[in-house]
Amino acid sequence: DAGVTQSPTHLIKTRGQQVTLRCSPISGHKSVSWYQQVLGQGPQFIFQYYEKEERGRGNFPDRFSARQFPNYSSELNVNALLLGDSALYLCASSGGLDRAYNEQFFGPGTRLTVL
């Protein structure tokens, strides 16, 4: 298993554009979480999906949305990009929601630059 994979690796967009980031979890993992990591800060929670349903949302505007597919892969969408959306976007998968399965396995991230 290659672990959690994310695509693309890097992305450059201009203000006002829309972007879609993709994540494939570890085989067998049903939960995917998205984080935004701004330079110099820890990861900030954006969304968690489990069994294709949104189970949690952090303090991010409605411009951010996500979904999870039947194969448990996930997409993060950001509309009307702002300069402040420039960050590393991390995807993490875990086996489930309860304590026995909530260890997060992280992908390498997608570096988004908004010009």
End-to-end CA distance of the chain: 35
Residues 76-115 that bind another protein (CB under 8 A): 90, 92, 97-99, 102-109
50 is a site residue for another protein (CB under 8 A): yes
Given 17, 41, 71, 77, the residue binding another protein (CB under 8 A): 41
1 is a site residue for another protein (CB under 8 A): no
8 is a site residue for another protein (CB under 8 A): no
Residue with tokens 């290659």: 2
78 touches 85 (CB < 8 A)? yes
Contacts (Cβ under 8 Å, ≥6 apart) of 38: 44, 86, 87, 88
Residues engaged in binding another protein (CB under 8 A): 3, 33, 35, 40-45, 48, 50, 55-58, 90, 92, 97-99, 102-109
